[in-house]
Amino acid sequence: MSSTTRRMTPQQVCRAIRDDIIRGVFAPGQRLTEDTLAERYGVSRVPVREALRTLEAEGFAWSRPYAGTFVAELTEADAADLLEIRALLEPLCAGRAAVRRTPEQLGRLKELTALGQDAVRDGRFDELTRLNSRFHEVLAEASGSTLLSQLITQLSWKIAWVYAVDLPRRAEDSWQEHEEICAALDAGDPERATQVVAAHIAHATSAYRRRDRAADPAAQQDR
């Protein structure tokens, strides 16, 4: 091991590669080689190999014998399924979190909201994907359900992929809605928390669909 090799776990390498896929550093269909990735992240090939297996299981990559591993493509059908599943799971999660969250979890959600609002004000939009994913992961943890937390954490990665193209005009509203979610949790109001999260997801889904339709002249008539 060279002096420049970093000690990263396979999980850390996996997250780094996943983040780069979500941010578009690696394009759909691009080949992911162990040597190139090991050099990029300053690690040995061993954790890279494990990370690629995990990413393939998660659906972020695919492999073919004797050809290698490639970045997967997120189809419109995939995106539609993810958004529908999110609309079903996250309101349930929020309702549970309103009565099960710990003071520490609520504090972390408020902290992430403040960081997100600061990033929007400063125009640091590249930070929002990570902060948003973490917000929803902590919200899932606050539900008190290990299974629900695992499902929503994995879902949050894919949702970040769906929203990979920044929507600056939506960002300010989105983080204001995060503040409203925190207020509902702070009040211990499961019905309000469910409603606010459902509205938050509906607004995000609508913005995503408007983004896609903006390039379609025929769709302009339906705005």
Return per-residue pLDDT of the chain as tens, 223 residues. 444 566 888 999 999 999 999 888 999 999 999 999 999 999 999 999 999 999 999 999 999 998 999 999 988 888 888 889 999 999 999 999 999 999 999 999 999 999 999 999 998 887 888 888 899 999 999 999 999 999 988 888 888 888 765 455 577 888 999 999 999 999 999 999 999 999 999 988 887 766 554 444 333 333 2
Q: How many helices (H) and strands (E) does the chain have?
A: 9, 3
* 116 close to 71: Cβ distance less than 8 angstroms: no
* 122 close to 202: Cβ distance less than 8 angstroms: no
**β-sheet bridge partners, residue 69:** 32, 63
* 133 close to 152: Cβ distance less than 8 angstroms: no
* 108 close to 97: Cβ distance less than 8 angstroms: no
